[in-house]
Amino acid sequence: MRRCGHGIMRQTHMMQSLNRSGPSRTKRADCAAMSDPSAPRPEFSRSHAARRLVRGADRAALSTIGAGLEPEGGAPFASLVTLATNGAGAPLLLLSSLAEHTRNVIADSRSALLITDSTVPHANPQEDARVTLVGRLHADPEPASRGRFLARHPAAARYAAFADFAMYRLAVDRVHVVEGFGVAYQIDDPAAYRVPPAIAAAFSAAEADACARLNETRGRDLARLCRGRAVRAVALDADGLDLCPESASDPDSAAPAYRVAFPGPLDGPEALDAALDTILDGAP
């Protein structure tokens, strides 16, 4: 797992959010009600923490229903996919029609993604936070979706234009969160998982200009988030920034973008600089 700076990268904030929204790790071993669904857990903090984990991941396990593998109508089929998100937080996948999972999706769109937080590895993998997103996977012809995916996975530009590749988006129906061993819950309202439409639209409209402005005026600040490494902002949403190495000669220039999570979801693009300043206050 690639990180940037002192742990700002990827889902580091995710673990803090999960710990704040549920029982602390030090209390889990002797907390009889640690998985009690009636325990007070604000829907917003749960939804945001789940979305932040998904935003911070660059890969996931995709589960589809095997087309024609069993007489009773198909068997589960799991595969590895690379992952990005749109402005609302919906998962985006770039899939080839030659792949078995894509053939499965065309026949039956029901799908699930498992995303695991590995930024803070535990001796017992059951302690790692993870999110399962259940829904239906559909083709997404929107140019903005392709742009978001390629910003996160620049290496995919080598094959994204091939005739057999297309963008897909998971319409999330259900979210299942496991904070660690013995601590699990569901987010009942899938709309709560997504960034509100008006806010997502505002960030999408401002994304290109805001990234260009950050690269022009705050390049040194962005580098501070990556231990002085020259980077550029390539994507922006209400939950954070994606950063890529500035030089094409950088060995990591084709690797997945770094993720910088904001301390909390922003209400609009005008809050971007203040959020960045808050992060930088804790940077070396």
- Confidence band, pLDDT 50/70/90 cuts, at residue 32: very low
Q: For residue 17, what pLDDT is reported?
A: 39
Percent of the chain residues topping a pLDDT of 70: 80
Q: How many CB atoms lie within 10 A of CB 33?
A: 9
Give the tens place of pLDDT for each residue, 73-129. Answer: 678 999 999 999 999 999 999 999 999 999 999 999 999 999 998 677 788 888 889
Give the tens place of pLDDT for each residue, 4-22. Answer: 644 344 434 343 434 434 3
Please state which of the ranges 28-32, 103-107, 196-200, 239-243 shows the lowest mean pLDDT.
Answer: 28-32
Please state which of the ranges 30-44, 122-136, 263-277 shows the lowest mean pLDDT.
Answer: 30-44
Exposed / middle / buried, residue 123 (Cβ in 10 Å: 0-12, 13-18, 19+): exposed
Q: For residue 128, what pLDDT is reported?
A: 87
- Confidence band, pLDDT 50/70/90 cuts, at residue 160: very high
Q: Which residue has the higher pLDDT, 4 or 179?
A: 179
Q: ∠ at Cα 60 (21, 130), nearest 5°?
A: 20
Give me 121's structure tokens. 């590895």
3-state SS class at 45: helix
Q: For residue 24, what pLDDT is reported?
A: 33
The C-alpha R_g of the chain, in whole angstroms, comes to 19
Q: For residue 195, what pLDDT is reported?
A: 96
Q: For residue 249, what pLDDT is reported?
A: 60
Q: How many CA atoms lie within 13 A of 174 on its CB side?
A: 8
Give the tens place of pLDDT for each residue, 240-275. Answer: 999 999 876 665 667 899 999 999 999 999 999 999
Q: How many CB atoms lie within 10 A of CB 32?
A: 6
Give the DSSP per-residue string, 136-174.
EEEE---HHHHHHHHHH-GGGGGTTTSTTEEEEEEEEEE
Give the DSSP per-residue string, 264-278.
S--SSGGGHHHHHHH
Interhelix angle for 12-21 vs 43-56, to 10°?
160
Q: For residue 73, what pLDDT is reported?
A: 61
Q: Which residues are bridge partners to 63 per DSSP?
A: 78, 112
Q: For residue 25, what pLDDT is reported?
A: 35
Give the tens place of pLDDT for each residue, 162-174. Answer: 999 999 999 999 9
Could you give the residue ranges of the DSSP H alpha helices within the chain?
12-21, 25-28, 43-56, 100-107, 143-152, 190-193, 197-217, 219-224, 272-281
Residue 79, phi then psi, degrees to nearest 5? -150, 165
Instruction: Specify the pTM.
Output: 0.83
Domains belonging to the chain, first-starting first, are 13-195 (2.30.110.10), 198-281 (3.20.180.10)
Q: How many CB atoms lie within 10 A of CB 240?
A: 23
Q: Which residue has the higher pLDDT, 188 or 4?
A: 188
Mean pLDDT of the chain: 84
Closest by CA position to 234, among listed 198, 271, 266, 260 = 260
Residue 201, phi then psi, degrees to nearest 5? -65, -40
